[in-house]
């Protein structure tokens, strides 16, 4: 069993750290927020006073932080002080450039590192059923895999440093675009007098079939477990979808890829957030489409 430092004990990091404790690892956690530290303590982790204190004696350090600037600032503090051969894993969703900088920083200190963003949300974090998309050298990935298996059910090695973040934002760009497409079809069907169930029955077994329709249907009824049946409570908040679409558009600009639908999806979610709906599930974008109809 490993000595693991876990930095960033929020909605995702808290339950992920708890699963490492459950698997028998010795976990030392740190977060800026009292309530997150207390929850991690209640779940069996020890709590350190600073990130630097948390990583003392660690074999593995996991970070689960809001954005690239937080990851780079924490890694800047800890990389020079961790023990030789300590494995660094960043599970946050961040921009590909920052992920590559973080890897470079680790490599300069001869430390193995993996970017390992997740999909599966807070339910997956609690149930240890997350999917991890990993970037890093083969050796670093081979060290990270058994640790990540305590927190997830699918661990994919996508390539070198930053490849995990690249896979994450490409996937979520598909998701953002496809959710808007499904919502547009339901909004058009309503105008044409088509019942939600009839459209679902046809599209879910035809070429319009996709995850946004069959697992996460944005209207109440056809898929009882979708957030539409729970007043569009997340689920996956629209603000997080917007964050990921922004990351995909930053990466498209930097790399010179053409992603016009990704750009349009970003602007639609941006308008939804500005109207005060960032906390709603991202499938609630159907309300925005109904609202702008005819404007
Ligand atoms: P969160 O805001 O609940 O947690 C982030 C935590 O990091 C907070 O508790 C904050 O206090 C802590 N933090 C910030 N700066 C810190 C520092 N310098 N030192 C120590 N702690 C610090 O966010 P979350 O929902 O847990 O998401 C974490 C990451 O996972 C994000 O990058 C997010 O995009 C990604 N993600 C979230 C979900 C989701 O459904 N919530 C799903 C997939 C991926």
Residue 295: the pLDDT is 74
Measured CA to CA, the distance from residue 200 to residue 111 in angstroms comes to: 50
From 9, 11, 38, the mutation candidate for ligand 1 (largest count of ligand atoms within 8 A of CB) is: 11
Q: Which residues line ligand 1 (CB under 6 A)?
A: 7-13, 30-33, 36, 51, 64-66, 70, 74, 92-93, 118, 121-122, 236, 240, 243
From the alpha carbon of 119, which atom of ligand 1 is closest?
43
* DSSP designation for 80: T
What is the Cα–Cα distance from 221 to 196, expressed in whole angstroms?
A: 8
Q: Which atom of ligand 1 is nearest to the CA of 67?
A: 32
8 alpha carbon – ligand 1 mean position (Å): 6
Q: Whose CA is nearest to atom 42 of ligand 1?
A: 121
Q: Which CATH class is domain 3-160?
A: alpha beta
The SS3 of residue 180 is helix
Provide the sign of the torsion angle of the four alpha carbons 236, 239, 245, 250, taken in this order: negative
Taking Cα atoms as reference points, which of 259, 225, 228 lies closest to residue 244?
Answer: 259
Across the chain, mean pLDDT equals 97
Cβ neighbour number for residue 207 with a 10 Å cutoff: 6
Share of the chain above pLDDT 70, in %: 100
Residue reference for tokens 């019942």? 195
Residue 131: the pLDDT is 97
Q: Which residue has the higher pLDDT, 60 or 234?
A: 60
- Encode 171-205: b = buried (16+ Cβ within 10 Å), e = exposed: bbbbbbbbbbebbebbbebbeeeeebeebbeebee
Q: Where are the domains of the chain?
A: 3-160, 166-294
pLDDT score of 121 more than 90: no
pLDDT tens track for 137-159: 999 999 999 999 999 999 999 99
Residues 50-98 pLDDT 10s:
999 999 999 999 999 999 999 999 999 999 999 999 999 999 999 999 9
| Distance, CA of 154 to CA of 72 (rounded, Å) | 26
212 Cα–ligand 1 center, Å: 24
- CA–centroid distance, 7 to ligand 1, in Å, is 10
SS3 281: strand
Q: Which of 41, 168, 191, 243 is catalytic?
A: 168
Q: Which ligand 1 atom sits closest to the C-alpha of 240?
A: 34
Q: What is the CATH number of domain 166-294?
A: 1.10.1040.10
- pTM given for the model: 0.94
**Residue from 166, 135, 183, 188 nearest 259 by CA:** 166
Closest to 71 (Cα-Cα) out of 46, 45, 41, 104? 104
Decide if pLDDT at 223 tops 80: yes
* pLDDT digit string, tens, across residues 260-277: 999 999 999 999 999 999
Block residue for tokens 């999909």: 119
Query: 166-294: same fold as 3-160?
Result: no
Residue 64 Cα to ligand 1 middle (Å): 5
Atom of ligand 1 nearest to the CA of 121: 40
Residue 155 CA to residue 167 CA, distance in Å, equals 12
Residue 168 a catalytic site member: yes
Mean pLDDT of 102-123: 96
Q: How confident is the model at residue 123 (pLDDT cuts 50, 70, 90)?
A: confident
Measured in Å, residue 78 CA sits from the centre of ligand 1 at 18
Q: Is the pLDDT of residue 294 over 90?
A: no
């Amino acid at each position: 069993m490993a000595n693991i430092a876990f930095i960033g004990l929020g909605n995702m990091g808290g339950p992920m750290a708890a699963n490492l404790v459950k698997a028998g690892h010795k976990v030392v956690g740190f977060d800026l927020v009292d309530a997150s530290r207390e929850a991690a303590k209640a779940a069996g982790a020890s709590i350190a006073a600073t990130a630097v204190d948390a990583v003392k004696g660690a074999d593995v350090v996991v970070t689960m932080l809001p954005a690239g600037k937080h990851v780079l600032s924490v890694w800047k503090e800890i990389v020079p002080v961790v023990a030789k051969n300590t494995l660094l894993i960043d599970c946050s969703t961040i921009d590909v450039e920052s992920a590559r900088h973080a890897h470079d920083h680790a490599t300069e200190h001869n430390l193995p590192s993996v970017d390992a963003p997740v999909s599966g949300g807070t339910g997956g974090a609690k149930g240890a059923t997350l999917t991890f998309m990993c970037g890093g050298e083969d050796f670093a990935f081979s060290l990270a895999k058994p640790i990540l298996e305590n927190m997830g059910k699918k661990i994919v090695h996508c390539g070198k440093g930053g490849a995990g973040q690249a896979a994450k934002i490409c996937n979520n760009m598909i998701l953002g675009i496809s959710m808007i497409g499904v919502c547009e079809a339901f909004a058009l069907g309503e105008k044409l007098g088509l019942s939600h169930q009839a459209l679902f029955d046809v599209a879910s077994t035809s070429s319009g079939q996709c995850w946004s329709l069959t697992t996460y249907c944005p209207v109440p009824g056809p898929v009882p477990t979708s957030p539409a049946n729970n007043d569009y409570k997340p689920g996956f908040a629209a603000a997080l979808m917007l964050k990921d679409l922004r990351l995909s558009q930053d990466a498209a600009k930097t790399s010179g890829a053409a992603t016009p639908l990704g750009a349009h999806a970003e602007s639609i979610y941006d308008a939804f957030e500005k109207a005060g709906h960032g906390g709603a599930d991202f499938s609630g974008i159907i309300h925005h489409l109904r609202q702008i109809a005819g404007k």
